[in-house]
């Protein structure tokens, strides 16, 4: 199986959650559109991650795409743990639909209503119905732009990030 898995280089995204007065976010490599009609998107959160603990009680999650130029956001949300630091203290964010936390400097984002949760071992899948979307930073901003097209941040770009939580 390693010969198959090692060839994959998925897009990375940051998933944020807010519930019970808490907010959390993490870098995610397991995410994809999973239905066309109706449009659905699935993100998989590790059970050891604080974001998962907050997301269990969230009605909405926000999913953010990043470009390689936005490596700093990936490093913050993938390399730190919300158990020890407030990841949102040093970034621009706003409240989206249903109280979701939207990272203003992502190249694109959407807020999705959690339609279903599926336990699949060490990760839980959150199946989302998109209800709001946007672009993030304006074109030409230091971190990249809403209208910026091209390559998204991929797993191979993020391999140097030491996880904020252990894998298991």
On the question of pLDDT at 72 being above 70, the answer is yes
Task: Return the minimum-mean-pLDDT range out of 16-25, 44-53, 67-76, 159-168.
Answer: 159-168
| Predicted model pTM | 0.86
Peptide bond into 73 cis (omega under 30): no
φ, ψ for residue 164, nearest 5 deg: -65, -25
Angstrom distance (rounded) from CA 13 to CA 10:
10
Q: What confidence category does residue 139 fall into, taking pLDDT thresholds of 50, 70 and 90?
A: very low
Q: What are phi and psi of 53, to 5 degrees?
A: -65, -40
pLDDT tens per residue, range 37-50 = 999 999 999 999 99
For residue 14, pLDDT beyond 60: yes
| pLDDT at residue 6, rounded to an integer | 78
Average pLDDT, the chain: 87
What mean pLDDT do residues 79-96 have?
A: 91
What local confidence, expressed as pLDDT, does residue 156 receive? 80
- Across the range 100-123, mean pLDDT stands at 96
pLDDT band at 57 (very low <50, low <70, confident <90, very high): very high
State mean pLDDT over 73-80. 92
pLDDT recorded at residue 83: 85
Query: What does the angle CA 37 – CA 43 – CA 53 come to, to the nearest 5 degrees?
Result: 135
């Amino acid at each position: 199986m390693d010969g198959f898995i090692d060839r994959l280089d998925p897009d990375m995204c940051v998933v944020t959650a807010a519930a019970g007065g808490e907010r959390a976010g993490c870098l995610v490599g397991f995410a994809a559109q999973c239905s066309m009609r109706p449009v659905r998107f699935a993100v998989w959160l590790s059970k050891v991650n604080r974001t998962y603990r907050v997301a269990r009680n969230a009605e909405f999650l926000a999913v953010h795409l990043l470009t390689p130029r936005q490596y700093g956001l990936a490093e913050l949300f993938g390399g730190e743990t919300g158990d020890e630091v407030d990841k949102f203290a040093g970034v621009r964010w706003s409240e989206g639909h249903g109280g979701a936390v939207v990272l203003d400097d992502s190249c694109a984002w959407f807020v999705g209503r959690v339609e279903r949760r599926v336990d699949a071992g060490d990760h839980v899948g959150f199946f989302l119905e998109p209800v709001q979307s946007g672009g993030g930073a304006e074109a030409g901003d230091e971190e990249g732009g809403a209208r910026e097209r091209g390559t998204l941040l991929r797993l191979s770009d993020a391999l140097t990030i030491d996880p904020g939580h252990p894998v298991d």
